[in-house]
Homo-oligomer: A and B are copies of this chain.
Amino acid sequence: MVSTKFKNYLFEEYGIKFKNETLLEEAFTHSSYVNEHPKESVGNYEKLEFLGDAVLELAVSDYLYRHFPSLNEGQLTRLRSNIVRTEGFSGFAIECGFPAEINLGRGEEKTGARERKTLLEDVFEAFNGALFLDQGMDAVQKFLKLTVYPLIDSGEFTDSRDYKTDLQELLQVNGAIKIEYQVLEETKLPSNFKVALFVEGKKISEGSGHNKKAAEQVAAKLALIKYQEK
C-alpha cells in the first residue's frame, strides 16, 4: 500500500492530492503483486501505463513546441525521443521516491525488480496516467514543471544523440541506402545483445548493449565514426 508518508510528500513537494486514491494505488501496483494477493481488489498499473505513455508524449511535445520555437520538426522529434526514453523517466521515478512505494510480488522482489529501469519507467508513466485521470492535463503539466522540464531547459537531453538517425541522414543524403541491423547474440540474466550493422549488405560495425536498441546505437555510433574518418 502506498504509504501515508509518501502521500504527504506528494502534497508538500508537488501539491498533489488524489481525489480517487484507488488510481494512485493502482499506479504503484505490479501484476506480480496482484497475482499473489487475489483477494485484494486493486488492479495492476498496466492500463494506467498505456494511458500515461500518451499523456507524457503530449505533455512533453506541447512543452517543446511552445518553449523551443527555433527548433525544426526533426530537431523537436529527436529531442522528444531523447526525453521519453526509458532511462530518463526511470531517473525521475527514483528522484520522486517512487521505488519504495511499489507493490511487488515476492519473486519479482528477489530478482531486483524494484530497481529495474523498465519497471520504474512504467510506474512513472502509470503515475502520470493516474494524475491525468484524477485531475487533468494541467495537473500533469504542473508536476512535470517541477520534475522533467527543468532538466529539458538545462540541456540534459539535447546532447544525447540518436546515432541511428544520424547515420541514416549521413548515408542517405544522395538517395536510399540499405542499412540493416542483425542480432548476433542474445543472452539473458544479465540481458545482453550483440548486433551487427550492414550497409548495402557489407558489415560495417558491431555493438553490444543491455537491449537491442542500445546495442544498435553503439553499432551506429561506431559506423558514424568510420564514415566520418573517410
Contacts and interface: CB of A to CB of B under 8 A. Distances in A.
Contacts of A46: 72-73
A40 B186 CA distance: 54
A178 B50 CA distance: 25
Contacts of A186: 176, 178
Interface string A87-120: 0000000000000000000000000000000000
A171 to B, nearest CB: 14
A10 interface: no
Contact of A51 (B53, B61, B133, B137): B61
B61 A47 contact: no
Interface string A159-183: 0000000000000000010101011
A183 B183 contact: no
A188 B172 CA distance: 14
B73 A50 contact: yes
A77 interface: yes
B77 A50 contact: yes
Given A176-B186, A178-B186, A183-B178, A54 B62 contact: yes
A193 B176 CA distance: 13
A60 B46 CA distance: 17
Given A176-B186, A178-B186, A186-B176, A61 B50 contact: yes
Interface in A132-163: 132-133, 137
Contacts of A176: 186, 188
A47 B73 contact: yes
A220 interface: no
A223 interface: no
A59 to B, nearest CB: 8
A161 B191 CA distance: 30
Given A62-B132, A65-B133, A137-B137, 20 more contacts: A46-B73, A47-B65, A50-B73, A50-B77, A51-B61, A51-B62, A51-B65, A53-B61, A54-B54, A54-B57, A54-B58, A55-B58, A55-B61, A57-B58, A58-B58, A176-B186, A176-B188, A178-B183, A180-B183, A182-B182
